[in-house]
Amino acid sequence: MPITEIRVAGFGGQGVIMAATVIGKALCIYEQGYSTMTQNFGPEARGGACSAQVILSKEPILYPYVTGTDASIMMSQEAFAKFAGEIKPDGVLLIEQDLVRVSNVKTGVRVYGVPATRLAEQLGKRMMQNIVMVGFFGAVTGFVTAEALKQAVLDSVPPHTREANVKAFEAGYEYGKALLAGETVEAPVPA
């Protein structure tokens, strides 16, 4: 695996930092790779801009900041507006399709959307949208195995929420696999 640069961005309260932590932990601990994670968020606890940079590699990482992303996970329109320009021309853009409208992306960027919030709501916990996004990321990019990501989820969430978070991960993963297979994916109907 060459150095892989990832940005996870949205607004405070969406679990952006947790999603980035899970991705880095999955490769570092469960696939014996290396990862770094840096974070940036506004002064607001909820609702302000929030982003995290994750670097994945099979070799030690010498510089912990992204210079151009191989994959970007955008969970808000503000995040897309601010960070879409850093995606490499052959990169992958994953969006929360109900919250992000894509325009003016570089030629060659592959864009995939998932209704992460609706899938999480269907499972009973809107706040698990970040874990749905992690599952979707695993399915679409293949940068980290599903098993490693699932183990990292289990290690990162409170014990009483593990079962629900695994269901959220699996919902995102299955949605991504079906989308890649060209299957018609039925998104949950908004309540």
- Domain of 76, CATH number, reads 3.40.920.10
- For residue 16, being part of any structural domain is answered with yes
CA distance 130 to 8: 10
- For residue 118, being part of any structural domain is answered with yes
pLDDT value of residue 182: 87
- For residue 91, being part of any structural domain is answered with yes
- For residue 160, being part of any structural domain is answered with yes
Give the total number of structural domains in the chain.
Answer: 1
pLDDT of 57 over the 70 cut = yes
pLDDT of 183 over the 80 cut = no
Spell out the SS3 assignment of 107-167: CCCEEEEECHHHHHHHCCCHHHHHHHHHHHHHHHHCCCCHHHHHHHHHHHCCHHHHHHHHH
At 67-105, the pLDDT tens digits run 999 999 999 999 999 999 999 999 999 999 999 999 989
At 133-176, the pLDDT tens digits run 999 999 999 999 999 999 999 999 999 999 999 999 999 999 99
What separation, in Å, do the N-terminal and C-terminal C-alpha atoms of the chain show? 42
Its pTM stands at 0.92
